């Protein structure tokens, strides 16, 4: 996981920032090729996740372009010393931070503002047969989502806890 704080240049007209630069990413050991961009809009209290693809894992570069979210990633690489540990970052339109979520992590977010728009770049295409969800409220994980009684999809509400989930073995 890597929190990216881009340089933002302000003037009387507004602001400008670079959200992706292949050379910078390559220099810092990050992927320099993305194949899919996704965008979502959600209202306060919506929780999306924790999603991952088992056979074709996705790395994701996530940012919030309107509102505020708590972005969460869980290490689901069984042989990792951090297996089952989670991290989070509050991404907002105001702080303009981006979170790099590498392959091998389950990812999700909760909306902290009245509305939020989230944009993320993916290193592989969505692959329905390998799409999985990890239970967002698994007591073994104890994730602090920053919202009470979140609104989740049926898919996310019935996802498997970590102890029963398909995870990355290598």
Place of tokens 């728009």: 117
Q: Which of 20, 24, 28, 51 is catalytic?
A: 51
Q: Which of 20, 82, 120, 127 is catalytic?
A: 120
pLDDT band of residue 2 (cuts 50, 70, 90) is confident
70 within 8 A of 110, measured Cβ to Cβ: yes
Whole-structure pTM value: 0.93
What's the pLDDT at 124?
A: 97
62 within 8 A of 118, measured Cβ to Cβ: yes
159 within 8 A of 136, measured Cβ to Cβ: yes
Q: Is 51 a catalytic residue?
A: yes
Query: How confident is the model over 149-165, as pLDDT tens digits?
Result: 999 999 999 999 999 99
Looking at residues 123-134, what average pLDDT do you find?
Answer: 96
State the first-to-last Cα distance of the chain, in angstroms, to the nearest integer: 18
Query: How confident is the model over 43-98, as pLDDT tens digits?
Result: 999 999 999 999 999 999 999 999 999 999 999 999 999 999 999 999 999 999 99
- Looking at 3.40.50.620, 3.30.365.10, 2.40.30.10, 2.60.120.10, the CATH number of the domain 2-6+19-164 comes to 2.60.120.10
* b/e code 39-70 from CB counts within 10 Å (16+ = b): eeebebbbbbbbbbbbeebbbbbbbbeebbbb
Mean of per-residue pLDDT scores for the chain: 96
């Amino acid at each position: 996981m890597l929190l990216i704080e881009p340089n933002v240049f302000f003037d009387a007209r507004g602001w400008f920032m670079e959200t992706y630069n292949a050379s910078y990413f390559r220099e810092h050991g990050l992927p320099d090729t993305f194949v899919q961009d996704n965008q979502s809009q959600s209202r306060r209290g919506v929780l999306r996740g924790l999603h991952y693809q088992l056979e074709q894992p996705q790395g994701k570069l996530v940012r919030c372009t309107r509102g505020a979210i708590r972005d969460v990633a869980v290490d689901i690489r069984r042989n990792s010393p951090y297996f089952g540990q989670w991290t989070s970052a509050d991404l907002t339109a105001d702080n303009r931070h981006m979170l790099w979520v590498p392959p091998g992590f389950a990812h999700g977010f909760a909306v902290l503002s009245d509305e939020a728009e989230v944009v993320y770049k993916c290193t592989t295409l969505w692959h329905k047969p390998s799409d999985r969800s990890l239970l967002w409220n698994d007591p073994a994980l104890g994730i602090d989502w920053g919202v009470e009684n979140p609104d989740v999809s049926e898919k996310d509400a019935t996802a498997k806890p970590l102890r029963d989930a398909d995870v990355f073995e290598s």
